[in-house]
Amino acid sequence: MNLFKMHFFRMAQNLVMLVVLAVTVAVSASAREITLQDDRVLIAFDSKSGAITRLTDKASHWKIERRPELGVSFRLFAPLPGRRWNPVLGQKQVVAEIEKISRHEIELEWKNPVSENGGVLPMILTAHVTLTNGVLTFNLNVQNDSDLTVESIDYPYFGDFNAPSHDSTNLVAWTMKQGNVDDLGAEEIYPHFRNEKGYWGVFWPTKILEAEHSPCCLIQSPDSGIYIGAGATPEPYRLQYVFEQHPGLLSVVTGLVPPEDEIGGQTVHLEFRLCHLVFQQPHTIVKLTPVVLSCYRGDRHAGSALYKQWHSTSQ
């Protein structure tokens, strides 16, 4: 065997190994999803990060969370004494434990998350997600053993919140104006999206809707919707529905969202999360307000009916 042949053989051998490895990774990647589903909803979590990777309304086939690679588990801010900017980004955390407790119940735990500027923080976040008759409930406990105040926690966090399709004509977020479910205000989020915050102070066009007067938010397409809101009332702290359009708009003149998954090499996606402004003191445990999510058919009145139903049973 001359040198050339030997070299070729090794190259081929390496190539085969690479292919095998790639296939293995791909298989294990697809296997790393843990799902809850019933006849109405499917939700999937990444077993490594705990991020929500898929969410589907099975009745309308609406792929609400579509691209797993954009999934996010949570985010929190814990300012340092000398530097306020100290987020903990869920994308960079590894879940310590993820367990499917039953057919309709998953528990996730993140321990000692690594913050952007303050190193490892002695904290434990425990999420408990249930699916019952098409209703998802997200619970999160935060054990803060650090000396820092946790100002805010974003959970649940949808990193790729989609309209039913790229051709959708009018996806609107409805919230109550003054706690009255029969008096709703609308904010279009697709195909137009208007930044509502000072653009100097946000990286991406952002809308923040307050839960103070609106225990629920209805994200409404022309013929179906998503009900999301606080599972307890009144909320013990300020809660917000936050929409963030990445990487930006086509044009601020038209307010149109880029219609494809990518523009100029940048990924187009809408982030949607509930922000809990908890101001959690050091060395305390906080149980966040549960967040419920369910999908419905019909217009916003159908969503309002869900709220009325929930409100009447919670009294």
Closest to other proteins by CB, 50 vs 258, is 258
In whole angstroms, give the CA distance from residue 299 to residue 167: 18
In whole angstroms, give the CA distance from residue 315 to residue 293: 19
Min dist. Cβ of residue 16 to other proteins (A): 38
What does the block give as tokens for 97?
């434990």
Min dist. Cβ of residue 122 to other proteins (A): 21
Taking alpha carbons only, the member of 207, 213, 219, 208 closest to residue 235 is 213
Closest to other proteins by CB, 9 vs 85, is 85
**Beta-carbon neighbour count of residue 135 at 10 Å?**
18
Min dist. Cβ of residue 273 to other proteins (A): 10
**Beta-carbon neighbour count of residue 61 at 10 Å?**
10
Alpha helices in the chain (DSSP H): 3-31, 300-314
Min dist. Cβ of residue 167 to other proteins (A): 13
Residues forming the site for other proteins (CB under 8 A) = 77, 79, 83-85, 87, 151-152, 154, 197-206, 208, 238, 240, 242, 247-254, 256, 258, 263-266, 275, 277
Closest to other proteins by CB, 83 vs 301, is 83
Min dist. Cβ of residue 277 to other proteins (A): 6
Closest to other proteins by CB, 57 vs 187, is 187
Min dist. Cβ of residue 255 to other proteins (A): 9
Residue 250, CA atoms < 13 Å, CB-side half-sphere:
13
Question: What type of residue sits at position 156?
Answer: P
Closest to other proteins by CB, 11 vs 208, is 208
Closest to other proteins by CB, 75 vs 300, is 75
Concatenating the DSSP letter of every residue in 246-277 gives ES--S-TTT-BPPSSSEETTEEPEEEEEEEEE
In whole angstroms, give the CA distance from residue 63 to residue 34: 17
Min dist. Cβ of residue 242 to other proteins (A): 8
CB-CB contact of 106 with 99 (8 Å): yes
Closest to other proteins by CB, 257 vs 292, is 257
